[in-house]
Amino acid sequence: MQKDSLYVTREGLEKLRDELKELVEIKRPEVAKRIQNAREMGDISENAEYDAARQEQSYIEGRIAELEEVIKNSKIYEPTKGDGVAIGSKVTVHIDGEEETFHIVGAPEANPLEKKISHESPLGVALFGKKVGEKIEVEAPMGKLTYTILNIE
């Protein structure tokens, strides 16, 4: 795996492309229409709707630029059978008497609330390449945690 590449899952890349398409085809024209309508109301110097629409336009344009850059530099990671934990793996671990399942994803797709963790996160780095039965230790704010890998999909 190349260090300077931005790796993602096939599913993650599709979600990024879908978000970009929605921003370009739907959100951008909507906010342009809001700006036009606010301008037609007259004095824009004290027009809260105009200010809000311009602020949203700025966010949308920034996100479009960010997504275009991420998509351009992304590579779909294709794991080889027997490599152990890799990008795209769903890993079930035993930790503190409980089982947790994490989906290892590329950094742009990470969402800890959905148990999607980046391969670049401390846990992702520790799990990467490991196989069922192996134990890893990860430093956490509450101290060192020991994970035992139970299953890899």
pLDDT single digits (tens) 32-87: 999 998 888 877 777 888 889 999 999 999 999 999 999 999 988 877 677 789 99
Half-sphere exposure in the Cβ direction for 12 (13 Å, CA): 26
Q: Domain-by-domain residue ranges, the chain?
A: 6-76, 90-152
The CATH number for 6-76, chosen from 3.30.420.40, 1.10.287.180, 3.40.50.150, 1.10.3720.10, is: 1.10.287.180
Cα 56 from chain centre: 21
Buried b (16+ CB within 10 A) or exposed e, 81-120: eeebbbbbbebebeeeeeeeebbbbbbbbbeeeeebbbbe
Q: Which CATH number does 90-152 carry?
A: 3.10.50.30
- Provide the mean pLDDT of the chain: 90
Q: Give me the mean pLDDT over the 111-123 stretch.
A: 93
